Amino acid sequence: MAPDLSSSLIGSPQPAYPGTGVSSGHRPPGKTMNKGGKTPDNERLDELAERALELYRDPFMPGDEDHPWTISARQQLSIRFLRFIGDLGGYLESNEQFDEALDLYFRGLDADDLAEGLYRRLMLCFQHLGRKAEAIEAYHRCSRTLSARLGVKPSDETTAIYDSLMAAA
């Protein structure tokens, strides 16, 4: 059952990833229903996803920091877009469409390279596909980006996934 990704995307986290003790941060697939309780078919889901990705190419009014109202609107749109990416990616993962989920997460990172949750999802998809080196590289990209842009290290959640990858050597 496909989630309705056209609604607001707020929900409780999914249980921890097997073997890592790390929460996915997204709702279980099929739990996102529209007001009528129906979910769109896969073709409609593809259309909605492609349309959302086309619409969200750049942040809302990025050069207009002089107007405080644009900051709030920009942040809200970014949060909704990232939730959309997470929900759709979770749906793809639950249907074992890991390559498609990877493409989606990379597109999300193109829009916001500070979205640490997307790096975690990349790492886990790569791990599931047996592409350990790429999973580790996703962690290092995350670490470099967070350090350079914010002066912080990846969260304990992200580091736990990395540690589980390294322990599986």
pLDDT in tens, 65-83: 666 666 677 678 778 888 9
In this prediction, residues 55-68 reach a mean pLDDT of: 58
Contact 96, 112 (CB under 8 A): no
User: Using CA atoms, how far apart are residues 18 and 38, in angstroms rounded to an integer?
Assistant: 30
pLDDT in tens, 76-107: 877 888 898 999 999 999 999 999 999 999 98
Residue located via tokens 């580091």: 159
Residue 134: pLDDT over 70: yes
pLDDT at 71: 64
Q: Tell me what the mean pLDDT of segment 4-19 comes to.
A: 38
For residue 146, CA distances in Å to 36, 72, 115 come to 41, 22, 9
C-beta atoms surrounding 36 within 10 Å: 7
CATH value of 16-167 in 1.25.40.10, 3.30.70.3340, 3.40.800.10, 2.70.98.60: 1.25.40.10
Contact between 3 and 87 under an 8 Å Cβ cutoff? The reply is yes
pLDDT value of residue 58: 57
| pLDDT at position 60 over 80 | no
CA distance 92 to 99: 9
Q: How many C-beta neighbours within 10 Å does residue 166 have?
A: 11
More confident residue, 2 or 113: 113
**Do 110 and 122 meet the contact criterion of CB atoms below 8 Å apart?**
no
